[in-house]
């Protein structure tokens, strides 16, 4: 009988070491498998919350929510996800924040929303007891609402209207008043252009070449002064620029989603960006500017000027070779049809994709792909004034993209997302 063979201690240590490694690997494998399963479940839940936020925002369009109010939508009983929507305004545009929660998990999305409808006419011209006169290279395509006296051809500086048809679309009779912008938009315009309005937020000093980006999930950042010149600056997000007298925007500036408020706003030549400019006295846009959707250019002129028959300077003017994508609004006191100053002037070779609302006279020499509502037209040529004449202007409602959403009129509800915010 052979004797018992001894195993060296080093071999036992090696076996124990290998066993420990195998145990650690098995534990890590179980941990990874569990983490992967948990990650998949959390990912699925997050996807459900994101989809719930999208559904909640769409469902909120069917609810009447006051500005500053919040609505709690029905509980998703299958996944136990709670959804609520909060409504506020950013400038003149409506902002909605949708929030979904499940336990300790929370998700939110923000979007600018507006009204989109296939029934928006190419032209709504207030009935001021004058016919619409077409002259030169003018074209109107789409449904129109015209004064009871209708539309006729005319001649300006030897250029008459020679197209086969006057209106390329359905003709309807307009009322003696313009459609009214929805109540909340009107309230916002009156508030932001009131003489003593001054916004509240975190004051940020304006320095040369400042680069500032502020999420809409963060408190408002505010640049204030009496005269503000925006040159070589980059501003984007939840930022408001407010001046008690005047704001000037230089082409070297980059503005995205910010709001400008002042009595007088001047946007220089070749400015590019997407922002809201809201003035109480006048707003001028220079040559060759490219302002992307959803830009808002607005003058809320709340007092009646002293009549001056020689004052032909428009309150809101867009110079030549501009490309504007968004909303242009002039809202003034009750119109005096004996006055000759245009509320809005759109120069040659400028295109506007969106909507124009002008409570006074509109001088249109460019092209509008969308909808125009105006109290009257006016044309200035060779020192002469032509009332209710549309000269070399184009209005084409069929050129408006289906994705466009703007500020609605009275009783129209917002039903489409303009832009997701960050």
Name which of 246, 253, 315, 239 is nearest 289 in CA terms: 253
pLDDT greater than 70 at residue 315: yes
pLDDT in tens, 105-143: 889 999 999 999 877 899 999 999 999 999 999 999 999
**Residue 38 to residue 51: CA distance in whole angstroms:** 20
DSSP letters, 83-128, are EEEEEEEETTEEEEEEEEEETTEEEEEEEEEEB--TT--SEEE---
For the cut 60, the answer to whether the pLDDT of residue 336 exceeds it is no
- What's the average model confidence in pLDDT over 159-186? 94
Q: Give the residue among 66, 70, 61, 170 at the shortest CA–CA distance from 117.
A: 61
What's the maximum distance between 2 C-alpha atoms anywhere in the chain?
Answer: 133
Question: Considering only CA atoms, which of 147, 146, 144 is closest in space to residue 169?
Answer: 144
% of the chain exceeding 90 in pLDDT:
71
User: pLDDT tens digit string along 275-289?
Assistant: 999 999 999 999 999
* pLDDT for position 76: 64
Dihedral sign of CA atoms 57, 59, 60, 61 in order:
positive
Average pLDDT score over residue span 25-45 = 71
- Does the pLDDT at position 10 exceed 70? no
Residue 2 DSSP code: P
Measured over the CA atoms of residue 13, residue 14, residue 15 and residue 17, the dihedral's sign is positive
**CA gyration radius for the chain?**
30
Global pTM reads 0.88
Nearest C-alpha neighbor of 158 from the set 408, 382, 401, 397 = 382
In order of 167, 194, 240, 312, the CA distances from 303 in angstroms are 36, 10, 25, 18
Residue 276 to residue 105: CA distance in whole angstroms: 34
pLDDT at 102: 85
Its sign, for the CA torsion 229, 190, 257, 206, is: positive
Q: How confident is the model at residue 1 (pLDDT cuts 50, 70, 90)?
A: very low
């Amino acid at each position: 009988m052979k004797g018992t063979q001894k195993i060296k201690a080093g071999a036992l240590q090696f076996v124990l070491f290998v066993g420990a490694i195998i145990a650690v690997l098995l534990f890590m494998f179980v941990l990874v498998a569990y983490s992967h399963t948990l990650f998949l479940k959390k990912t699925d839940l997050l996807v459900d919350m994101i989809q719930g936020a999208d559904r909640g925002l769409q469902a909120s369009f069917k609810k009447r929510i006051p500005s500053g109010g919040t609505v709690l939508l029905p509980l998703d009983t299958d996944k136990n996800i709670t959804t609520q929507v909060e409504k506020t305004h950013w400038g003149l545009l409506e902002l909605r924040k949708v929030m979904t929660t499940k336990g300790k998990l929370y998700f939110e999305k923000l979007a600018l929303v507006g009204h989109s409808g296939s029934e928006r006419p190419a032209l709504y011209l207030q009935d001021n007891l004058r016919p619409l006169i077409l002259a030169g290279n003018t074209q109107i395509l789409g449904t129109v609402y015209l004064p009871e006296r209708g539309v006729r051809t005319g001649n300006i500086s030897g250029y008459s209207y020679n197209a086969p048809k006057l209106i390329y679309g359905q003709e309807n009779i307009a009322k003696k008043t313009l459609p009214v912008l929805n109540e909340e938009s009107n309230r916002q315009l009156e508030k932001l252009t009131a003489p003593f309005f001054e916004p509240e937020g975190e004051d940020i000093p304006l320095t040369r070449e400042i680069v500032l980006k502020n999420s809409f999930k963060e408190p408002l950042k505010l640049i204030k002064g009496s005269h503000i010149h925006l040159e070589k600056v980059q501003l984007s997000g939840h930022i408001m620029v407010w001046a008690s007298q005047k704001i000037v925007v230089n082409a070297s500036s980059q503005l995205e989603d910010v709001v400008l408020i002042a009595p007088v706003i001047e946007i220089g030549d070749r400015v590019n960006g997407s922002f809201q400019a809201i003035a109480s006295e006048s707003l001028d846009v220079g040559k060759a500017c490219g302002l992307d959707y959803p830009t808002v250019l607005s003058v809320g002129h709340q007092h009646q000027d002293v009549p001056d028959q020689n004052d032909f300077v428009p309150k809101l003017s867009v110079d030549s070779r501009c490309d504007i994508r968004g909303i242009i609004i002039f809202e003034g006191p009750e119109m005096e049809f004996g006055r000759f100053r245009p509320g809005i002037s759109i120069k040659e070779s400028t295109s506007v994709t969106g909507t124009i609302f002008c409570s006074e006279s509109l001088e249109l020499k460019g092209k509008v792909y969308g909808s125009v509502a105006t109290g009257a037209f006016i044309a200035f040529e060779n020192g002469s004034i032509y009332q209710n004449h549309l000269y070399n202007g184009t209005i084409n409602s069929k050129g408006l993209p289906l994705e466009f959403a703007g500020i609605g009129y009275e009783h129209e509800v917002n039903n489409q997302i303009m832009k997701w915010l960050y």
